[in-house]
């Protein structure tokens, strides 16, 4: 691995890979496994911890003392970054999109608990170029205070590093699949920035794992994500010094589960969340993993075997308690 990829070890790895026989039966699958990335460790875990190990590694290598990022006000990434920053001795400055609500519940409560310094923005599109300018202005304020900020922008320059972190998990999946006896026909994962999907595509290609990857978008149209994932795969491969051919060959992205919109619960997502809880004791959330499970259940109509990347996100369940309770 190139030395540019400095890592601060935080996650509890490997995360468990477990069978879900009752949910498999309900879904009409011959077998279903859950990759329990929700149990990845610090700050209540999730798919962001593997990425944060390398992000904080890069921040330390750059001599930074504070990480600065932006996302939704109920962002699992910001909650995990705030907690991991506290654990690793960094300050954490967050610019959050006010549209997601400013009440101190769920992830936002945890960000405050971890001591993050928080401001809100009216921006609604994390991919808009103005977002970068707002972040740079905050970085300038921090520098004026004598601090050394490290700007983290997942859809921006941090993308390749975050995808590379997941590409490096390919070896762990190969070991999981080998212990389970065979690779599943497909693996479903929630897609926001789609960096987890991009990394998995690269990691699976590197390990020659035949499993198809189903990205279930919760925010962006598939037409926007497909070229983005392909681009990020290429950049992450360059970062890692890998040449794996066409990583996109095994990737499909559906945007069928986004409605009624990002972070807004859907009937199918809530039904999937309830089913997973009652058949397997899994805690999914309405914004990401509930919708991803709904996508898996829809794809399962074709039969076969599947795996589900449980990417965490439980704190937002508590921020949307009323909608969840109404579906029970
Ligand atoms: C719980 C959860 N699952 C999945 C995702 C999607 O990960 P990615 O942004 O890499 O697509 C996120 C992103 O915020 C998340 O919080």
Please indicate, yes or no, if residue 1 is contained in any of the structural domains.
no
In the predicted model, is pLDDT for residue 127 greater than 80? no
In a domain, 208, yes or no: yes
Structural domain boundaries enclosing 103: 48-152
Q: Is the Cβ–Cβ distance between 265 and 293 less than 8 Å? A: no
Task: Examine the fold and report which residue of 152, 168, 192 is the final residue of a domain before the chain moves on.
Answer: 152
Q: Flag whether pLDDT at 286 surpasses 60.
A: yes
As a whole number, mean pLDDT of residues 245-268 equals 96
pLDDT of residue 128: 83
Atom of ligand 1 nearest to the CA of 215: 11
Tell me: do 178 and 147 sit in the same domain: no
Residue 291 pLDDT more than 80?
A: yes
Question: Which residues does ligand 1 sit against, CB inside 6 Å?
Answer: 46-47, 76-77, 190-197, 288-289, 311-313
Report which secondary-structure segment, H or E, holds 252: strand 251-254
**DSSP strand pairing (212-217 vs 251-254):** parallel
Residue keyed to tokens 């070229």 = 227
Give the residue whose CA is nearest to atom 1 of ligand 1: 313
Confidence of residue 214 (pLDDT cuts 50, 70, 90): very high
Nearest atom, ligand 1, residue 285 CA: 1
In the reported structure, the alpha carbon of residue 64 is separated from the centroid of ligand 1 by a whole-number distance in angstroms of: 25
Which pLDDT score, from 0 to 100, does residue 4 have? Answer: 60
- DSSP per-residue codes, 85-99: HHHHT-EEEEEEEGG
Phi, psi for residue 104 in degrees, rounded to 5: -80, 70
The sign of the torsion formed by the CA atoms of 182, 44, 188, 317 equals: positive
- Residue 156: is its pLDDT beyond 90? no
Distance in Å, CA 191 to ligand 1 centroid: 6
Last residue of a domain, one of 117, 152, 187: 152
Residue 140 lies in a domain: yes
- 309 CA → ligand 1 middle, Å: 10
Residues 34 and 81 in one domain: no
Dist. CA 290 → ligand 1 center (Å): 12
> Could you tell which of 49, 262, 273, 288 is best to mutate to test the pocket of ligand 1, judged by most ligand atoms within 8 Å of the CB?
288
Domain assignment present for residue 82? The answer is yes
Total structural domains in the chain? Answer: 2
166 CA: nearest ligand 1 atom: 10
Same domain, 166 and 290: yes
Band of pLDDT at residue 1, cut at 50, 70 and 90: very low
| Mutational test site, ligand 1, from 77, 127, 203, 311, max ligand atoms within 8 Å of CB | 311
In Å, how far are 95, 131, 194, 254, 263 from 220, measured between CA atoms? 21, 17, 9, 10, 12
Tell the residue nearest (CA) to atom 12 of ligand 1: 192
Q: Is the pLDDT of residue 297 over 90?
A: yes
Q: Please check whether residue 4 lies inside any domain of the structure.
A: no
Three-state secondary-structure class, residue 32: strand
Same domain for 164 and 142? no
Q: Are 223 and 319 contained in the same domain?
A: yes
Q: Is the pLDDT of residue 189 over 60?
A: yes
My answer on whether 75 and 119 are in the same domain is: yes
- pTM of the entire structure? 0.96
Give, using CA atoms, the residue closest to atom 13 of ligand 1.
192
What pLDDT does residue 100 have? 87
What CATH number should be reported for the domain holding residue 193? 3.40.50.1100
Q: 32 lies in a domain?
A: yes
Residue that finishes a domain, picked among 120, 152, 184 = 152
**Ligand 1 center–CA 75 separation, angstroms:** 9
> Are both 53 and 36 inside the same structural domain?
no
Q: Do 107 and 193 lie in a common domain?
A: no
| Segment 202-208 mean pLDDT | 98
């Amino acid at each position: 691995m190139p030395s540019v990829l400095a890592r601060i070890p935080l996650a509890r790895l490997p995360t468990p890979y477990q069978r879900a026989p009752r949910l498999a039966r309900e879904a009409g699958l011959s077998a279903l496994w859950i990759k329990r990335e929700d149990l990845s460790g610090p700050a209540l875990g999730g798919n962001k911890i593997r990425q944060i190990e390398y992000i904080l590694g890069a921040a330390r290598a750059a001599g930074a003392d504070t990480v600065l990022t932006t996302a939704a006000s109920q962002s699992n990434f910001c909650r995990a970054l705030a907690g991991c920053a506290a654990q690793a001795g960094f300050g954490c400055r967050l610019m959050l999109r006010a549209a997601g609500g400013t009440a101190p519940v769920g992830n936002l409560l945890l960000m405050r608990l971890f001591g993050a310094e928080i401001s809100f923005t009216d921006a609604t599109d994390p991919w808009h170029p103005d977002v970068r300018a707002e972040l740079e202005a905050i970085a300038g304020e921090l520098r004026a205070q004598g601090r050394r900020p490290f700007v983290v922008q997942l859809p921006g320059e941090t993308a390749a590093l975050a995808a590379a972190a997941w590409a490096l998990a390919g070896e762990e999946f190969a070991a999981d699949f080998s212990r389970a006896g065979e690779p599943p026909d497909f693996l479903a994962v929630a897609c926001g920035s789609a960096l987890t999907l991009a990394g998995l595509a690269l990691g699976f290609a590197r390990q020659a794992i035949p499993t198809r990857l189903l990205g279930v978008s919760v925010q962006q149209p598939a037409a926007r994500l497909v070229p983005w994932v392909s681009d990020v795969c290429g950049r992450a491969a360059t970062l890692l010094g890998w040449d794996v051919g066409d990583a996109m060959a095994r990737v499909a992205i559906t945007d069928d589960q986004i409605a009624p919109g990002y972070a807004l619960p859907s009937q199918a997502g809530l039904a999937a969340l309830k089913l997973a809880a009652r058949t397997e004791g899994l805690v999914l959330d309405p914004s990401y993993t509930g919708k991803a499970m709904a996508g898996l259940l829809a794809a399962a109509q074709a039969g076969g075997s599947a795996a589900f990347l449980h990417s965490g996100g439980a704190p937002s369940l508590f921020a949307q308690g009323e909608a969840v309770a109404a579906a029970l």
